[in-house]
Amino acid sequence: MLGVLGGGLYWLGKQKSPQSTTDDSARKTLQNRYARDEIDEEEYRRRRERLDATDEDFSN
């Protein structure tokens, strides 16, 4: 019984919030687009700053 409880707590601790998963996905997409030269450095920085600002809004 204690093992099941410990496993459940471990699993819950490893879960991410839906917002952080979305943010991670958005960042990876942005990085991939920049790496493939689909967007230039200026566009990359602008969008990255916007993602970072969104993170700050949700953390407060």
**Predicted pLDDT at 24:** 84
**Nearest alpha carbon to residue 55 among 13, 17, 29:** 17
Is residue 3 pLDDT above 90, yes or no?
no
Give the pTM. Answer: 0.57
DSSP structure class, residue 4: H
Q: What is the pLDDT of residue 5?
A: 64
DSSP single-letter state for residue 15: P
**For the chain, domain boundaries:** 21-60
Spatial separation of the C-alpha atoms in residues 15 and 21, rounded to whole Å: 10
CB 23 within 8 A of CB 55: yes
Q: Which residue has the higher pLDDT, 40 or 55?
A: 40
Give tens-digit pLDDT for 6-37: 666 666 665 555 555 666 899 999 999 999 99
